[in-house]
């Protein structure tokens, strides 16, 4: 018996030694730790990042950290405390491995032991408002965040714990949370959605940290382990083949973190999976596509539910870029962004980036932005997004043309929507989402009711509204059944970039087709020509909004301003939030509206054939809680069945407020003529500074080798391919 006990003790010690040898492994391994330690005194950015993390954690050493019973929504004390706690545990665990200071491991241990007491007692959060409530937080998504970072923290201090402490933490802190998300919230865990990416990563990382293969298998293959859901399915279904995430760049910014963190852990523990190579390097493509869909200041293009202040210096992209640097190798664009982030994670990738920044000269000031067309859908056949760019550096102009699928739960009703950015400024804007994230006073930091009733409605965007009703009647389930379609694009000529897309399902019996041209004329002037055709068998009211950002300067037509009394523009579909501040009746003219944004002028020149109403609006009606930002728009309203909206957006002039100097503040567009418009062709002539710009497009034959000809009393042109553009009679 005594001999058996000795043998068992030896076996236990051997097992303990093996387990010690394989931890830490989820965030980094021993070789990574050596690389970080050796670089801390060499590379200033790594030194700075280390000192920053150390200062934050050191403030808690030797103190009892509160692990409160959860009661507050986002922005409240308990919410923020638990959020801070999981980052504190993670950072303290990292410092333990870098410094060897036991106090850091003790801090993590004591906090996890408190969670081991708290978590088994928790029911649904008292502030929960959705079908996926959390325990520690108001929504399960935040619980999944806690699982990711707490699991990493546990792995980081695993070797410092006794077997009894491990059992207590694994059974008390982790098991209740894993059971909660995989059993009680099984349907949510098995969704193909960014929330479930976090949940899978949380369960998987905890599985790696606790040596629980059952957890890892559920994370990879779904709660039933059949592969229909789980992390691999998320990688296969949430991205198009070129890396576009259907909910938009703001949400891939959020989802890329659990993708990258769990992939990093899997790469360390199961290198045979080759997870970073999965689906032709899909995570690398997702990261680079996300970065291409940002403005010069790093803010994400506001597609769908976007918080417009969020940019690529966010913690999620710091982590993703640093780990991607190790996984995929050096990348100059990532280096530019990392320099602006001005911090790195304490990981091998972060150390390597810090080394590159310290040793490289002439790191570019701007990410290498370029024209990019991204497909949507698993197979890349559900529409997409074009970002047409001209200029470079601080003179970059970007036209975003969205013809995607609905975008799941965070999608907006904005088929064929456009947004314009110039010199780093938002010119034709998108509202983004109605949410004050992390501010408890504003609906607990959750999405405001106005997110649904206004921000996602079609009138809040720069695309056509029919009969004051949003696309798909504002029904996201109906919208999910359809997608817009790109008909043709040409992006190889830097002076003429063109995309034509169609939407035939947003309104029954109404077909929409929009062609966007971004043109740099031979005199270097930049213009956007917008040809929006709508065809219907019945008569409708058509509203085409331009949500502009800037100061109203002038119009070339008379309007009536409602200075003493205002009324709302409508009663539903977002119209109820718009004050009608001015209106004009126009007929058979080119209506011009000029506004100033920062130091440049922008003029929208609109061809008006027949009668039309031009409306100027401000948001703010029916908003007693002042939840919506006050923002202006100009709306062209026409009635008819078949209409062609021709608009030219011109970038011109300069305003110097310091020296009180203004130049070229007037538009140079003097005439717009619709030369032909039918099911086969649309042809337009625009007179700019006395010279004629002609654009002719095929509306149904998009062969690049087909020969076309239009011959009437206004035009006689023969060309090859889907379109042609002539300036002063010549191609350019």
Which residues participate in catalysis according to the annotation? 251, 410
Which secondary structure element, helix H or strand E, spans residue 489, and what is its range?
strand 485-493
- 43: phi then psi, degrees, rounded to nearest 5: -115, 115
3-state helix, strand, coil in the chain (%, to 5): 40, 30, 35
Residue 20 CB neighbours (<10 A): 11
Residue 73 CB neighbours (<10 A): 21
CA 21 to CA 36: how far, in whole Å? 19
Residue 717 CB neighbours (<10 A): 17
- 640: phi then psi, degrees, rounded to nearest 5: 165, -170
CA 314 to CA 289: how far, in whole Å? 16
Read off the tokens for 427.
């010119």
CA 395 to CA 378: how far, in whole Å? 35
Residue 99 CB neighbours (<10 A): 14
- 476: phi then psi, degrees, rounded to nearest 5: -65, -35
Q: Is residue 324 classed as helix, strand or coil in its secondary structure? A: helix
Q: Could you give the C-alpha distances from 118 to 133, 157, 171, 482, in angstroms and in order?
A: 17, 20, 12, 46
CA 719 to CA 182: how far, in whole Å? 61
Which secondary structure element, helix H or strand E, spans residue 666, and what is its range?
none
Numbers of helices and strands, H then E, in the chain: 19, 26
- Dihedral sign of CA atoms 657, 660, 666, 667 in order: negative
Strands (E), 565-690: 567-568, 578-597, 600-619, 632-640, 643-652, 654-656, 661-663, 669-677, 681-688
Which secondary structure element, helix H or strand E, spans residue 154, and what is its range?
helix 140-157
CA 39 to CA 351: how far, in whole Å? 6
Prior bond of 408 cis (ω within 30°)? no
- 349: phi then psi, degrees, rounded to nearest 5: -60, -40
Read off the tokens for 321.
């870029």
Q: Could you give the C-alpha distances from 562 to 460, 578, 579, 581, 620, in angstroms and in order?
A: 21, 13, 10, 5, 15
């Amino acid at each position: 018996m005594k001999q058996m006990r000795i043998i068992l003790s030896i076996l236990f010690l051997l097992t303990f030694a093996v387990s010690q040898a394989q931890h830490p492994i989820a965030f980094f391994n021993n070789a990574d730790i050596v690389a970080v330690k050796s670089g801390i005194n060499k590379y200033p950015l790594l030194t700075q990042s280390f000192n920053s993390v150390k200062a934050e954690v050191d403030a808690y050493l030797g103190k009892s950290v509160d692990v409160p019973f959860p009661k507050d929504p986002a922005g409240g004390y308990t919410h923020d405390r638990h959020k801070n706690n999981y980052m504190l545990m993670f950072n303290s665990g990292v410092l333990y491995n870098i410094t060897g200071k036991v106090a850091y491991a003790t801090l993590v241990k004591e906090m996890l032991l408190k969670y081991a007491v708290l978590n088994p007692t928790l029911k649904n959060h008292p502030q929960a408002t959705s079908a996926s409530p959390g325990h520690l937080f108001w929504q399960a998504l935040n619980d999944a965040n806690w699982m990711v970072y707490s699991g990493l923290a546990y792995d980081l201090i695993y070797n410092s714990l006794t077997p009894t402490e491990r059992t207590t933490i694994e059974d008390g802190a982790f098991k209740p949370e894993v059971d909660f998300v995989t059993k009680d919230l099984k349907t949510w865990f098995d969704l193909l959605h960014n929330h479930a990416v976090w949940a899978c990563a949380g369960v998987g990382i905890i599985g790696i940290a606790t040596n629980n293969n059952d957890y890892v298998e559920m994370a990879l293959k779904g709660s039933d382990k059949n592969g229909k859901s789980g992390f691999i399915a998320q990688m296969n279904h949430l991205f198009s083949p070129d890396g576009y995430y259907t909910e938009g760049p703001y949400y891939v910014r959020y989802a890329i973190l659990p993708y990258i963190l769990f992939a990093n852990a899997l790469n360390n523990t199961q290198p045979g999976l080759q997870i970073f190579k999965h689906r032709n390097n899909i995570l690398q493509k997702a990261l680079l596509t996300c970065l291409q869909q940002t403005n010069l200041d790093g803010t994400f293009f506001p597609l769908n539910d976007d918080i417009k202040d969020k940019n690529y210096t966010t913690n999620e992209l710091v982590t993703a870029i640093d780990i991607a640097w190790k996984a995929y190798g050096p990348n100059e664009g990532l280096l530019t962004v990392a320099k602006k982030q001005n911090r790195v994670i304490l990981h091998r990738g972060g150390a390597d980036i810090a080394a590159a920044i310290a040793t490289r000269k002439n790191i570019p000031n701007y990410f290498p932005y370029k024209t990019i067309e991204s497909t949507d859908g698993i197979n890349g056949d559900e529409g997409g997004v074009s970002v047409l760019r001209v200029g470079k550096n601080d003179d970059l102009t970007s036209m975003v043309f969205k013809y995607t699928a609905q975008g799941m739960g965070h999608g907006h009703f904005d088929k064929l929507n456009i947004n314009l950015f110039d010199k780093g400024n938002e010119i034709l804007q998108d509202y983004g989402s109605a949410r004050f994230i992390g501010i408890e006073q504003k609906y607990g930091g959750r999405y405001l009711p106005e997110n649904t009733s206004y921000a996602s409605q079609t009138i809040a965007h720069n695309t056509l509204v029919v009969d004051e009703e949003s696309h798909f009647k504002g029904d996201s389930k109906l919208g999910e059944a359809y997608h817009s379609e790109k008909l043709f694009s040409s992006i190889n000529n830097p002076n003429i970039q063109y995309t034509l897309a169609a939407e035939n399902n947003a309104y029954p019996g109404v077909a929409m087709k929009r062609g966007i041209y971004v043109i740099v004329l031979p005199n270097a002037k930049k213009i956007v020509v917008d040809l929006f055709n709508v065809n219907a068998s019945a008569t409708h009211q058509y509203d085409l909004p331009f949500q502009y950002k800037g100061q109203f300067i002038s119009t070339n037509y008379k309007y009536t301003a409602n200075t003493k009394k205002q009324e709302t523009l409508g009663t539903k579909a977002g119209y109820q939030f718009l004050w009608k501040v001015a209106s004009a009746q126009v007929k058979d003219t080119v209506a011009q509206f000029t506004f100033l944004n920062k130091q440049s002028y922008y003029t929208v020149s609109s061809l008006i054939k027949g009668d039309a109403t031009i409306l100027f609006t401000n948001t703010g009606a029916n908003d007693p809680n002042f939840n919506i930002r006050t923002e202006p728009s100009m709306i062209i309203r026409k009635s008819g069945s078949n209409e062609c909206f021709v608009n030219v957006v011109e970038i011109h002039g300069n305003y110097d407020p310091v020296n009180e100097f203004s130049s070229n503040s007037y538009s140079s567009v003097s005439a717009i003529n619709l030369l032909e418009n039918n099911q086969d062709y649309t042809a337009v002539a625009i007179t700019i500074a006395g010279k004629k710009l002609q654009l002719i497009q095929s509306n149904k034959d998009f062969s690049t080798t087909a020969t076309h000809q239009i011959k009437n009393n206004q035009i006689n042109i023969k060309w090859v391919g889907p379109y042609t553009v002539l300036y002063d009679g010549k191609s350019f």
